[in-house]
Structure 1
Amino acid sequence: MLLNPYFIAEIRLIIANARENAARAVDHQRALMYWYIGQRIFEEEQQGKDRAEYGKYLIRNLAQELEPELGSGFSIRQLERYRQFYRMFPIVSALRTQFSWTHYKLLLPIADEDKRAFYIAEASKNLWTARQLERQINSLLYERLLLSNDKEAVLAVAQGEKLPVIPQEVIKDPMVLEFLGLKREAAYYEKDLEQAMITHLQDFLLELGNGFSFVARQKRIHLEGDDFFIDLVFYNRLLQCFVLFELKTHKLTHEDLGQLQMYVNYYDRKEKLERENSTIGILLCTDKNNAVVKYTLPQDNQSILASQYHLYLPKEEELTKLLKEDMERFGTLGHEN
């Protein structure tokens, strides 16, 4: 007698969920263990007359006792990290059950409290794995959002205290697309870029940010005998609007902006429901001239954005430099009469 395949699939799902929950529980218990170790080290070292010297002596001698028996997880460096863990997160009930110790190890080096709070909120809200959190930190997600927002707004959106109302609050510039696997030196076509995004759609959605859902690729528009095709169509439930992507493997031109403006106008007039907000168009390009963007589009433009993309994960200093240069260019343009 053959068993119902749906029954077998359900049993397998129960087993997989139980194993996942067990692994998550173990990870959380490990983080709790390190927190309590850090707490006891901190409390003990406070009893020394010369606290700094006593702290070094305490950790060094504790490591000599524990490491031979329990391994490298109890070395001097690790014990110092556990103490730092306790001092950075002094309330045990505030620890996130979905975070593993690896999550916390990634958060510990972040000295800026607002920046750390941002990553905690985003990782918790979006159920980021430790690997996803590492990728977002390394790609300077926080700094990229700060380029067009103030610190309070970025943190408020991340912590769910306010919904984004303008596209700049969720759209990043530049975007980092190293997960596509395209080499920056190699020749590739726009269709290659589009196909890579579809193949790595989950990673692309992570890079796009909160609230995005995929709708269509190469969306056909028929206008009195002429056919046009929008590269990618998404919907953002937070902004409550369609988001259209045009992909360019060259530096942005004013013709590119005009083409995207036509697509946005079409969606606003033919696809958008009355209760929805105006469509947003994003031109994803290898390079852009902010002055061209400014003078091609209306002064009150909120519907068309140009975002530069990188096919590799830049070093922090390199990406910081790029962000600084962009901020300076925006500042110069913003002060023109």
Structure 2
Amino acid sequence: MIVAQSVIKDIKAIILSAKEKAIRLVDHERTLMYWQIGKRIFEEEQQGKERADYGNYLTKFVAEQLEPEYGSGFSKRQIELSRQFYRSFPIANTLYSQLSWSQYKLLIRLDNRDKIDFYIAETVKNHWTVRQLERQIHSSLWERLLISNDRRNVLSVARNEKQPSDAKEIIKDPMYLEFLGLHREASYYEKDFEQAIITHLHDFLLELGNGFAFVARQKRLHIEGDEFFIDLVFYNRLLQCFVIIEIKTTKLTHQDIGQLQMYVNYYDRYEKRDFENPTIGILLCAEKNNAVVKISLPETNKTIIASEYKLYLPTEQQLIEEVKKEIEKRGNNAGT
């Protein structure tokens, strides 16, 4: 009977795998269909290029002919997107079978090629769903990583052309935690904030970035008769190190940095294996003073990172301002 159950389990796995492959195949064919429609419309549009409004006329005409028979998937908006799709990806062989038409619709709305390439690489590498890709775009993942890294480095890490050598290459500041469902106007105890993270652990791991795995919550340390509790412990397989997170729902202080440094030292001395890299500590705080962080840590520090959390997604204007400030800061540092 046990053997028979094992056979059923294996057969169910075969069926599930076949269904998933069939769905991916159908979706890829759907993507190619829209690409071919876009190509045909673009070619026809080019022939009528002397008429400035020909493109608008053509997409409207095609939609009017197709939508009544084939449904809303061939509305004027969908036809316009298919034309834009072809113009963004004019070579069919460059299309990824792992990406769906819904994901490509999100990507072709982005404003530059590097950004598109970044999100494609991250989606393929991390097997993001449409919802996850949409959330990462809306949370301005590309722009946030650019604040602390250069464009080429961000793309190289995303494409697996290089492994991250510095925690700041994958850890974001700020972190956007809108999925916790907490209101920014309210005050929270750290244990309540921690519980919200555990409840939404999958989304939190997505926000943390590539290679993170959950290890422990309220990890107890015994040090010469005294007990301490680390809020959250993770492991990052890309950095090959433990990552300790301490949550502060108020403004960060130099005492908080000292406490986290002690936890990092403990892990380096008693938990880390010889083949692993030094432990990373992240202070996830409501507010920080960058000058206090800088002065509290050695100039060579690469293991303690302070990251503010936000309970709402940024507006495009807010991100533009942040990137501008960072560019100006780099320019000032380069001139000193």
TM-score of the superposition, structure 1-length normalised?
0.92
Hey, what's the Cα distance between the residues in 2 that align with 1:125 and 1:229? 34
Aligned pairs (5 A) from 1:26-41: 26-41=26-41
For residue 65 of structure 2, what is the amino acid of its counterpart?
E
SS across alignment from 1:277? coil
| 8 Å CA contact retained: 1:45, 1:51 | no
What is aligned with 2:154? Answer: 154
Deviation at 1:14, TM superposition (A): 3.5
Structure 2 gaps, min length 5: none
Change (3 A) 1:308 1:336: farther
For residue 194 of structure 1, what is the amino acid of its counterpart?
E
Deviation at 1:327, TM superposition (A): 5.8
Hey, what's the Cα distance between the residues in 2 that align with 1:331 and 1:181? 38
Determine whether 1:294 maps to 2:306.
no
| 8 Å CA contact retained: 1:218, 1:231 | yes
Hey, what's the Cα distance between the residues in 1 that align with 2:46 and 2:75? 21
Hey, what's the Cα distance between the residues in 1 that align with 2:219 and 2:324? 36
Hey, what's the Cα distance between the residues in 2 that align with 1:323 and 1:32? 36
For residue 37 of structure 2, what is the amino acid of its counterpart?
I
What is aligned with 1:105? Answer: 105
Deviation at 1:194, TM superposition (A): 1.3
Deviation at 1:70, TM superposition (A): 2.1
Q: Give the superposed CA RMSD.
A: 2.2
Deviation at 1:335, TM superposition (A): 7.2
| 8 Å CA contact retained: 2:250, 2:286 | yes
Deviation at 1:336, TM superposition (A): 10
Structure 1 gaps, min length 5: none
SS across alignment from 1:46? helix
For residue 289 of structure 1, what is the amino acid of its counterpart?
N
What is aligned with 1:200? Answer: 200
- 1:307-329 Cα shifts (integer Å, max 9, x gaps): 00012223322344345446656
- 1:272-311 Cα shifts (integer Å, max 9, x gaps): 1222211111000011110110111111111100000012
Q: More deviation in 278-287 or 52-61?
A: 52-61
Matched length: 336
What is the identity percentage for the equivalent residue pairs of Structure 1 and Structure 2? Answer: 64
For residue 129 of structure 1, what is the amino acid of its counterpart?
T
Determine whether 1:163 maps to 2:163.
yes
Aligned pairs (5 A) from 1:222-241: 222-241=222-241
What is aligned with 2:142? Answer: 142
For residue 250 of structure 2, what is the amino acid of its counterpart?
H
Hey, what's the Cα distance between the residues in 1 that align with 2:131 and 2:48? 39
Hey, what's the Cα distance between the residues in 2 that align with 1:52 and 1:17? 49
Hey, what's the Cα distance between the residues in 2 that align with 1:309 and 1:300? 25
What is aligned with 1:47? Answer: 47
Change (3 A) 1:17 1:238: same
What is aligned with 1:216? Answer: 216
For residue 224 of structure 2, what is the amino acid of its counterpart?
E
SS across alignment from 1:306? strand
Deviation at 1:4, TM superposition (A): 5.4
Deviation at 1:201, TM superposition (A): 1.4
- 1:3-60 Cα shifts (integer Å, max 9, x gaps): 9555544444443333333222222111111001011111222222516443333223
Deviation at 1:185, TM superposition (A): 2.2
